[in-house]
A and B are shown apart, each in its own frame.
Chain A
């Protein structure tokens, strides 16, 4: 069965520091992979997605993610975090068949001034 694990429930980084949020998935075939961000009181906004091709994917707001099949990972990165990046981040995997996405439990990012 498909599953997504975000090992870090909560992460705190200083403004200007680099960021990496981890995501591991379990899926038999090539998955569709997504990262979403949810700011307080808002819906989920798509940051980036991976379907095929180049394993390094660029997204909005300066984020990128790298698909590593050998590690079943799709980690999200940003070289320099801004205070406005404080939010909850969700990794998700889809099969391309059912249309459903399986979401991880989310990682809450806190940014210190």
Chain B
């Protein structure tokens, strides 16, 4: 069955390095979300797109984070430069016209 995929599943990097996380949404699910999950803050919405256009990125630190959707099959979330406080699990989700969101397995990021 169709699923949201994310790569990489795990990423360990050093402070200051660029990190790129990728998401392949379910074909035809035209709204794509990026979330961050930590023990302290829980699940936070960072940004989302509809039909590849950014709708809301107010949850994202603008100075170091960027999200794009170069085509309907790929969404990316970049952090440059990364910091230890960015360590978290990052989830991509895609929704259909009923607002039902389907989550990917997440990318566990550790910034040393």
Bound-state CA distance A34–B101 (Å) is 9
A34-B100, A36-B103, A99-B48 are known; give 10 further A-B pairs, CB within 8 A. A43-B104, A43-B106, A44-B93, A49-B98, A98-B56, A99-B95, A99-B99, A103-B43, A105-B42, A106-B42
B45 within 8 A of A: yes
Known: A43-B103, A45-B103. A100 touches B48 (CB 8 A): yes
Residues of A participating in the B interface, judged by any CB pair closer than 8 Å: 32, 34, 36, 42-46, 49, 51, 90, 94-96, 98-101, 103, 105-106
| B99:A32 contact, CB within 8 angstroms | yes
Chain B residue total in the interface (Cβ 8 A): 22
Give the residues in chain A near B45, CB-CB below 8 Å. Answer: 100
Q: Which of B55, B91, B99 contacts A101 (CB 8 A)?
A: B99
Give the residues in chain A near B43, CB-CB below 8 Å. Answer: 90, 103, 106
Give the residues in chain B near A94, CB-CB below 8 Å. Answer: 99
Ranked nearest first, the 3 interchain pairs of A and B with the lowest CB-CB distance are: A43-B103, A94-B99, A44-B103
| B100:A46 contact, CB within 8 angstroms | yes
Known: A42-B105, A43-B106, A44-B91. A96 touches B99 (CB 8 A): yes
Bound-state CA distance A49–B91 (Å) is 20
Bound-state CA distance A44–B103 (Å) is 6
What are 25 A-B pairs with beta-carbon distances under 8 A? A32-B98, A32-B99, A36-B103, A43-B4, A43-B91, A43-B103, A43-B104, A43-B105, A44-B93, A44-B101, A46-B101, A46-B102, A49-B98, A95-B99, A96-B99, A99-B31, A99-B50, A99-B55, A99-B99, A100-B45, A100-B48, A101-B99, A101-B101, A105-B42, A106-B43
